Structure 1
Amino acid sequence: MTTIFLLEDDPILGKAIQLQLELQAYKVEWAQNLGEAKKRTAMTSPPDLFILDVNLPDGNGYDFCQWLRAEKLHTPVIFLTARTDEESVVRGFEEGANDYVRKPFSQKELSVRIRNQLSDTKAKLDLVRFNGVTLIKNQQVLKYGDSLISLNRREFEILTTFFEQPETIVTREQLIGRLASGDEIYDRTVDSHISHIRSKLTQNGVKGVKINSVYGQGYRLEKAV
Structure 2
Amino acid sequence: MKDRIFFLEDDPVLGEGIKLQLELAGYDVHWTRTVRSALSELGPAPSFQLAILDVSLPDGNGFEVCRQIRSLDAEMPILFMTAKTDEDSVVKGFEDGANDYLRKPTGNRELIARIKNLLPTQRAAKEGWSYSGALLLKAQRKLLTQGLEVSLNRREHEILSYLFQNPERVISRAQLLGQLDKDGEIFDRTIDSHVSHIRSKLRKAGVTQIKIEPIYGEGYRLGAS
Q: Do they superpose with TM above 0.5?
A: yes
RMSD of aligned C-alpha atoms? 3.8
- Quick one: distance in 1 between partners of 2:118 and 2:51? 17
Q: CA deviation at 1:33?
A: 3.3
Partner of 1:157: 158
Q: 2:62 aligns with which of 1, 10, 14?
A: 14
Partner of 1:32: 80
Q: CA deviation at 1:14?
A: 1.1
> Contact 1:133 / 1:144 at 8 angstroms: preserved in 2?
yes
Secondary structure of the corresponding residue to residue 139 of structure 2: coil
Secondary structure of the corresponding residue to residue 135 of structure 2: strand
- CA 1:133–1:69: 2 relative to 1, 3 Å: closer
- Quick one: distance in 2 between partners of 1:199 and 1:74? 27
> Contact 2:150 / 2:201 at 8 angstroms: preserved in 1?
yes
2:64 maps to a residue whose letter is A
Q: CA deviation at 1:26?
A: 7.5
- Quick one: distance in 2 between partners of 1:191 and 1:69? 33
**Deviation string for 1:145-170 (max 9, x for gaps)?**
22110000000000001000101111
Partner of 2:15: none
Secondary structure of the corresponding residue to residue 148 of structure 1: strand
Which stretches in structure 1 are left out of the alignment for 5+ residues? 35-47, 51-55, 76-123
Partner of 1:221: 222
Query: Where do residues 60-209 of structure 1 align in structure 2 (5 Å cutoff)?
Result: 67=116, 71=120, 73-74=122-123, 125-209=126-210
- Quick one: distance in 2 between partners of 1:8 and 1:70? 16
Q: Which moved more, 1:136-145 or 1:148-157?
A: 136-145
Q: CA deviation at 1:177?
A: 1.5
- CA 1:66–1:17: 2 relative to 1, 3 Å: closer
Q: CA deviation at 1:217?
A: 1.4
Instruction: State the TM-score, normalizing by the size of structure 2.
Output: 0.56
> Contact 1:8 / 1:14 at 8 angstroms: preserved in 2?
yes
2:197 maps to a residue whose letter is H
- Quick one: distance in 2 between partners of 1:20 and 1:133? 27
> Contact 1:5 / 1:49 at 8 angstroms: preserved in 2?
no
Partner of 1:104: none
> Contact 2:146 / 2:209 at 8 angstroms: preserved in 1?
no
Secondary structure of the corresponding residue to residue 178 of structure 2: helix
> Contact 2:148 / 2:207 at 8 angstroms: preserved in 1?
no
Partner of 2:91: none
> Contact 1:68 / 1:74 at 8 angstroms: preserved in 2?
no
Instruction: State the TM-score, normalizing by the size of structure 1.
Output: 0.56
Q: CA deviation at 1:69?
A: 9.6
- CA 1:20–1:192: 2 relative to 1, 3 Å: closer
- CA 1:215–1:129: 2 relative to 1, 3 Å: same
- Quick one: distance in 2 between partners of 1:181 and 1:20? 43
Q: CA deviation at 1:66?
A: 8.0
- Quick one: distance in 2 between partners of 1:146 and 1:26? 27
